[in-house]
Amino acid sequence: MVEIDILARLVVAAILLWAAAAKVVARDPERLEPYGFPRALRTPGYFGLALVEAAVGAALLAGLSFAPLAAIGLGVLFTLALARARARGFRRLDCGCFGSKEHRVEVLIVRALAFTALAGLAFFPLEVSRPSAQALVVIALVILAVAVVALAALVLALYRQVGLLTLRIGPGVALELAEEGPPLGDAAPELAGLASSGPELAVFFSPGCRLCRQLAPGVRALGREGLAVRVVYENEAPETFERWAVPGTPFAVQIVDGVVVAKGTVNTLEQLEQLVSIGAERVERAAA
């Protein structure tokens, strides 16, 4: 006899432990923004969720009786959170459970429901008769056929992504256009949190922006290195976006002593660092 509930426990535990590890490695609390988390609660909420996932996964492996119910609760929580994000207008999300890749919210909801159903199987003891040798051969052939089809699909997807990557390779420096953003050499527009003293960086993000989420850890790293950084989200301060004439996101403006010295659309941390360097060079040339 095959005990389905034990198999389900092992699979659900593996999923939760994998998801927790992926979150710890990514260290990107801004992924909680689409779900309506206040900024002050995103970091503790993000790592708290990873801790809960790891704890429930470990409890499932240990065979604790409450663990399947806890996993079901997590599945329901994931489903409701995704439904809320969809209601807020988000069409694609990177849930952060299995690496950095966006999916349609509807797909993520179906995936969360499937996880909940699997956790339900882990809760109810269920045994089925072991299949015959002939049935096992047929099952193995079906699995091999599915694996071949999946491998072919992955190869085609990889081929397509290589072509897209070639097309998407951006410039090595930030895209700086005179008509976009505040004029160079002018006083920076009003923005709460700017000291107008010394070098500062204003970075503009939008919710649901994949490049913004990828750039966010680098922006925080610049702040830890001593650069005064002010991050503005479009959904939280649309009037600021209008006042600063932000053309799109991610967009950054380097300010020194309250004066705009560099600006541009940035897609990578390298471009952002180059923008800061360009601003510093302009200030040095002006002082010479």
Summarised one tens digit per residue, pLDDT across range 56-103 is: 999 999 989 899 999 999 999 999 999 988 887 777 777 767 655 667
| Alpha carbons within 13 A on the beta-carbon side of 49 | 24
pLDDT at 168: 42
C-beta separation of 243 from 193 below 8 A: no
What does the pLDDT average to over 225-243? Answer: 91
Q: Is the pLDDT of residue 229 over 60?
A: yes
Q: Is the pLDDT of residue 44 over 60?
A: yes
What does the pLDDT average to over 126-144? Answer: 63
Homologous superfamily in CATH for domain 199-287: Glutaredoxin (3.40.30.10)
Higher pLDDT, 4 or 191: 191
What does the pLDDT average to over 206-227? Answer: 86
Q: How do 2-3 and 127-128 pair as beta strands?
A: antiparallel
Model pTM above 0.75: no
Residues in Cβ contact with 47 at an 8 Å cutoff, skipping those fewer than 6 apart: 23, 24, 29
Q: What pLDDT digit, counting tens, does each position of 4-20 carry?
A: 778 888 899 999 999 89
Q: Would the CA dihedral through 5, 10, 12, 13 be positive or negative?
A: positive
The 8 Å CB, 24+ separation contacts for 51-58 are 51/20, 53/16, 53/17, 53/19, 53/20, 53/23, 54/16, 54/17, 54/20, 54/21, 56/16, 57/12, 57/13, 57/14, 57/15, 57/16, 57/17, 57/20, 58/13, 58/17
Residues in Cβ contact with 184 at an 8 Å cutoff, skipping those fewer than 6 apart: 178, 260, 261, 262, 263
Mean pLDDT of the chain: 83
Which residue intervals of the chain bear CATH 3.40.30.10? 199-287
Within 88-132, residue ranges assigned H as helices are 105-123
100-109, 163-172, 245-254: least confidently modelled range: 163-172
Residue type, 205: F
Token code pair at residue 8: 């389900």
